[in-house]
């Protein structure tokens, strides 16, 4: 066990249910058809539960857990994309405001030549 700065031995407590001996589950690779259908369902409704999820999983030959996790991940991606879009809009409007203020300052100083 690792020793901390005082030299005392600390126990590392792992969360319950974390089985380090169990092999890591392999990543699910979805087919283009599965992804298309999942994406179409997501555009219609961001949450799929109950019988709808059971039927979707059955039609796509996936487990309900795989469908559930795909939707969770897709919602997370949407949130991330939205916040990135907001940041980009904020920074572009800030640079537009900056450009406008530069033009106004030049006009005030009479250094901007008017085009005849």
Q: How far is CA 52 from the centre of its chain?
A: 24
- For the chain, give the longest Cα–Cα distance: 82
pTM for the model stands at 0.60
Mean pLDDT of 4-21: 72
Model confidence pLDDT, tens digit, residues 64-105: 999 999 999 999 999 999 888 888 888 877 778 887 888 888
Q: What's the Cα-to-Cα distance from 89 to each of 52, 96, 112, rounded to whole Å?
A: 37, 10, 28
- Report the candidate in 79, 72, 71, 80 with the shortest Cα–Cα distance to residue 39: 71
Structure tokens at 93: 């409007």
Residue 5 — very low, low, confident or very high, per pLDDT cuts 50/70/90? Answer: low
């Amino acid at each position: 066990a690792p020793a901390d700065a005082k030299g005392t031995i600390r126990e590392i407590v792992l969360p319950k249910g974390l089985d380090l001996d169990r092999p890591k589950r392999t990543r699910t690779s979805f087919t283009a058809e599965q992804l298309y259908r999942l994406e179409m369902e997501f555009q219609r409704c961001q949450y799929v539960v109950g019988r709808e999820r059971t039927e979707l999983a059955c039609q796509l030959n996936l487990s309900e857990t795989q469908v559930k996790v795909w939707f969770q991940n897709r919602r997370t991606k949407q949130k991330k994309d939205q916040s990135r879009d907001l940041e980009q809009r904020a920074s572009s409007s800030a640079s537009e405001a900056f450009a406008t203020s530069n033009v106004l300052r030049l006009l005030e100083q009479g250094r901007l030549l008017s085009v005849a």
